[in-house]
Amino acid sequence: MESIQSIKQRFELIGNDVKLNRAIEKAIQVAPTDISVLVTGESGVGKEAIPKIIHSLSHRKHAKYIAVNCGAIPEGTIDSELFGHEKGAFTGATQTRSGYFEVADGGTIFLDEVGELPLTTQVRLLRVLENGEFLKVGSSQVQKTNVRIVAATNVNMFEAIEKEKFREDLYYRLSTVEINIPPLRERQEDIHLLFRKFASDFGQKYKMPTIRLEDDAVHLLLKYRWPGNIRQLRNIAEQISVLEENRTISAATLKSYLPNASGSNLPAVVGQPKKESDFSNEREILYKVLFDMKGDLNDLKKLTLELLKENDSKKVQKENENLIRKIYGKPEEDIEQEEEAMAEVLHLPEPVVEGKMQSPIQQPQEDRYHFAEEIQEEETLSLQEKEIELIKKSLERNRGKRKAAASELGISERTLYRKIKQYDL
């Protein structure tokens, strides 16, 4: 078994980070086997080096090694590219074509950006992983292949599975062994080392003196978050090597090549909980309004009954003033106008004239309590109508699926069924 240091020299891997060394060690250990490997890591960290190490150290090293960028192949042609097609299988298929799985029989296929595969292609790939069988597009004849699959992705696979963009069974078949490549910002000691290597390479390539960083520029280089990882670092080194006449680079010069170098270096917040749908927000607001209305109506009923029972105009006027201020939050100068409007609605007695209060509107005792009952009934009907309307909208929205409608309304499916039966919906 080759050492980690010899593998680094052979594949020109630079760095002494512990996580990087662990990734290389795992690649060396799994190489002699035929198990599937999933390489994960951010874009630009150098994931493509791991499949090459695995292939070169395996018993398949003399067979073909094919790297496929799944994200670069159109969805309509990717099945044909991977599995081949028969003549006449689709428009433009003028002859039979062998796919990558047929060509690489006995070798290794590296599926880069495997998280971008369409769901239909994922089903075909799962069959290859399970029993080595595949069908060409437009053919009914099953073919066998003996390939080792190494996949890579920068997608959060668990989020993709949750969103039903990637099959869970395929993920577990691909990730028999998972190798993670750390981002460049977690390899602080390797950043300047990599920059010096790139600067030296580009100096030789363009026949120019190698650029060198001043101490403050080195500090900025290490402080920067490098969202594009090693790929971005290499591009920056090449730009500076070509464009700068002064071969000693200051922090100010380096900063002009780094996007958002003056921004915050705090890590971004990821994995925030999903926001509720607009319908749910509207429902909550509507419920709050209805409950507030219920409280206001109860206050109005209490005020009305006190008026009818006690005939105390001053007390009722005082409570009326407090109620208006509570409901509308009006300044005192506007309370008088609000009282007049409220008095008209509630049929309050006229103001006191010469120390005597005019008699209130005569109404039989039974009618007074009947009036209060009507208020309660009207309130109940209003809430019931709103509830029926919400249930109907949710059922229409979910095409009659009670489980989805109950989830959207925030109630159990059993409660929704009872409501449907109660309201004869």
328 pLDDT above the threshold of 60: no
Any domain includes 270: no
| Cβ pair 112, 154 in contact under 8 A | no
- Does the pLDDT at position 301 exceed 90? no
Distance in Å from the first CA to the final CA of the chain: 72
Residue 369 has pLDDT above 60, yes or no: no
Q: Which of 182, 199, 215 is the last residue of a domain?
A: 182
Shared domain for 25 and 159, answered yes or no, is yes
Pair (77, 111) in one structural domain: yes
pLDDT of the residue at 334 = 53
Indicate whether 44 and 145 sit together in one domain. yes
- Dig out the tokens for 39 from the structure: 């390489």
424: in domain: yes
Give the whole-angstrom CA distance, residue 60 versus residue 259.
Answer: 43
Phi, psi dihedrals of residue 38, rounded to the nearest 5°: -115, 120
Q: What is the pTM of this model?
A: 0.61
Q: Could you tell me if 204 and 86 lie in one domain?
A: no
Query: What is the average pLDDT across 243-271?
Result: 78
Longest CA span, the chain: 115
Please count the CA atoms within 13 angstroms of the CA of 300 that sit on its side-chain side. Answer: 22
User: Residue 36's closest CA among 58, 21, 19?
Assistant: 58
In 221-272, where do the E strands start and end?
248-249
Using an 8 Å Cβ cutoff, are 166 and 157 in contact? yes
Report the pLDDT value the prediction gives residue 314, as an integer from 0 to 100. Answer: 63
Instruction: Report the distance separating Cα 108 and Cα 36, nearest Å.
Output: 10
In this structure, are 10 and 94 located in the same domain? yes
Last residue of a domain, one of 182, 197, 216: 182
> Residue 42 sits in a domain of what CATH number?
3.40.50.300
Within-domain flag for 237: yes
In a domain, 42, yes or no: yes
Q: What is the CATH number of the domain that holds 239?
A: 1.10.8.60
Is pLDDT of 191 > 60? yes
Question: 329 and 213 in one domain?
Answer: no
CA–CA separation, 219 and 346 (whole Å) = 76
**In terms of domains, do 297 and 409 share one?**
yes
For residue 232, the enclosing domain spans: 186-255
pLDDT at 309: 65
Whether 263 maps to a domain, the answer reads no
Give bridge partners of residue 135 from the DSSP assignment. Answer: 142
How many whole angstroms separate alpha carbon 136 and alpha carbon 133? Answer: 10
Q: Is 364 exposed, middle or buried (0-12, 13-18, 19+ CB in 10 A)?
A: exposed
pLDDT at 274: 45
Q: Which two tokens stand for residue 374?
A: 């009507």
For 119, 195, 310, the CA distances from 212, given in Å and listed in that order, are 49, 10, 95
* Percent with pLDDT over 90 in the chain: 57
Which residues have CB under 8 Å from 55's CB, separation 6+?
31, 61, 65, 107, 108, 110, 148, 150
| Residue linked to tokens 């009618």 | 367
Q: How far apart are CA 173 and CA 176, in angstroms?
A: 6
**3-state SS of the chain: helix, strand, coil percent to 5?**
55, 10, 35
* Secondary element (H or E) of residue 177: strand 177-180
pLDDT in tens, 38-92: 999 999 999 999 999 999 999 999 999 999 999 999 988 999 999 999 998 888 8
The verdict on 19 and 74 lying in the same domain is: yes
Alpha-carbon span 136 to 103, nearest angstrom: 13
Q: How far apart are CA 122 and CA 45, in angstroms?
A: 25
Same domain as 390, residue 289: yes
Q: Please check whether residues 168 and 190 belong to one and the same domain.
A: no
Closest CA to 27 of 50, 5, 59, 9: 50
67 phi/psi in degrees, rounded to 5: -105, 130
Total count of domains within the chain: 4
Task: Answer yes or no: do 91 and 201 share one domain.
Answer: no
- DSSP-assigned beta bridge partners for residue 150: 37, 110
Region 157-172 average pLDDT: 95
pLDDT higher than threshold 70 for residue 377: no
Say if residue 99 is in the same domain as residue 166.
yes
Q: Please say if the pLDDT value at position 400 is more than 90.
A: no
Do the domain assignments include residue 164? yes
**Which pLDDT band, with edges at 50, 70 and 90, does 356 fall under?**
very low
Contact yes or no for 346/300 (Cβ under 8 A): yes
When pLDDT is cut at 50, 70 and 90, the band that residue 381 belongs to is low
Segments of 35-77 assigned E as strands: 37-40, 65-69
Spatial separation of the C-alpha atoms in residues 205 and 197, rounded to whole Å: 12
Is residue 114 included in any domain, yes or no? yes
pLDDT of amino acid 93 = 84
Q: Which of 356, 362, 361, 320 is nearest to 341 (CA)?
A: 320
pLDDT greater than 80 at residue 234: yes
In a domain, 290, yes or no: yes
Q: Is 86 left (phi over 0), alpha (psi -120 to 50) or beta?
A: beta
| Cβ pair 118, 77 in contact under 8 A | no
pLDDT of residue 206: 93
Cα gap 316→326, rounded to integer Å:
15
Q: What is the pLDDT of residues 281-296, one digit of tens each?
A: 666 777 777 777 777 7
Instruction: Give CA–CA dist 277/404, Å, rounded.
Output: 13
**E strand or H helix at 200:** helix 188-205
Last residue of a domain, one of 139, 163, 182: 182
